[in-house]
Amino acid sequence: MFESFILGAVQGIAEWLPVSSEAMIVLVKNNFFPSGMNFSEMISFAIFLHLGTLLAASVYFRKKIINLVKNLFHYKKISKDQKNELNFIIIATLISGVLGFSILKTIENYVSFFENEMVINIVVAVFLLITAFFLFLAERQKNIKTVILTKKKALITGIFQAFAAIPGISRSGSTIAGMGLLGIKKEKVLELSFILSIPLVLFANVILNYDMFSEINLSHIVALSSAFVFGILTIEILLRLVKKIRFSYFVGVFALLIIFLQIVL
């Protein structure tokens, strides 16, 4: 139960930070709670834990989500800005779903590459450094004003989010970096990143991870509950600190720390 609580907490915190929550689950599981799970099983469990943070995002942004659904059914009557936002979310979700699925299926052919503990740690660190680089470029954008959410920007955001299918690439990190490079305000970027996670997680669990639902037990419930609680708390904290945080520095230092520990240990 303690392991389930910790893994759920890791998911709840890491999902909204620009670090791969799947990678963090694998790292914690691999280094602190070793078991008979192979890499594919650990990734499957990590995807399952996303349901906890999905619920957290759905509860926290319930008013926003309800309005988006209403706008979908009254599309012709809503304002141009509302249409742009709705189109942005739909297009980005479709692109990331299709492209991400293709990337994931390609990676499955090379899953044996990720069976070694050292390889997993190094791969995660390298992709975190890549994420930090793109976040750094996004944070260098100056004098960002209100940006129209065009279909082209939705396409680019969807592509960035799709790369999260690669082990070690952060979904929130890639979307935050992508939208930041497009000049979208940081506060809006975080909100959109949270909302874009909801349909993607549902897709991943219903289409790719449905077998997990036949194996649910008390430890799974504890893990999901932990992910939900820590997910809610992390959303609140991030939204308050968003203007003060340099995500690129955080991710870069974290990646270097993983490499340092790998060398030392």
DSSP 8-35: HHHHHHHTTTTS-HHHHHHHHHHHHS--
Coil, helix or strand at residue 181 = helix
User: Mean pLDDT highest for which of 40-44, 189-193, 200-204, 245-249?
Assistant: 189-193
Residue 67 is predicted with a pLDDT of: 92
Using CA of residue 98, residue 99, residue 103, residue 106, what is the dihedral sign?
positive
The answer for 168, left when phi > 0, alpha when psi is -120 to 50, beta otherwise, is left
SS3 label, residue 97: helix
The span from the CA of 194 to the CA of 189, in Å, is 9
More confident residue, 124 or 13: 13
- In our burial notation (b when 16+ CB lie closer than 10 A, e otherwise), range 95-105 reads bbbebbbebbe
Over residues 242-260, the mean pLDDT reads 78
Query: Residues 53, 202: contact at Cβ < 8 Å?
Result: no
pLDDT at 172 > cutoff 80: yes
- Residue 148 token pair: 């129209």
Tell me the DSSP string of 206-224.
Answer: III-GGGGGG--HHHHHHH
3-state secondary structure 113-177: HHCCHHHHHHHHHHHHHHHHHHHHHHHCCCCCCCCCCCHHHHHHHHHHHHHHHCCCCCHHHHHHH
d(CA 14, CA 53): 10
Tokens found for residue 247 = 């995500």
CB-side exposure of 18: number of CA atoms within 13 Å?
35
What confidence score (pLDDT) does residue 36 get? 67
Query: Which residues, at least 6 apart from 78, have a Cβ–Cβ distance to it below 8 Å?
Result: 71, 86
Name the average pLDDT for the chain: 83
User: Mean pLDDT, to the nearest integer, of 194-215?
Assistant: 79
**Tens digits of residue pLDDT in 84-139:** 999 999 999 999 989 988 887 787 777 666 666 677 778 778 888 888 888 888 87
Phi-psi region of 85 (alpha: psi -120 to 50; beta: other; left: phi over 0): alpha
pLDDT of residue 177: 87
Radius of gyration of the chain (CA): 18
Six-digit token pair at 103?
Answer: 């990337």
Q: What is the dihedral of CA 27, 198, 96, 23, to 10 degrees?
A: 0
- Higher pLDDT: 119 or 59? It is 59
Specify the pLDDT at position 113.
Answer: 66
Q: Which residue has the higher pLDDT, 88 or 171?
A: 88
For the question of whether the overall pTM of this predicted structure is more than 0.85, the answer is no
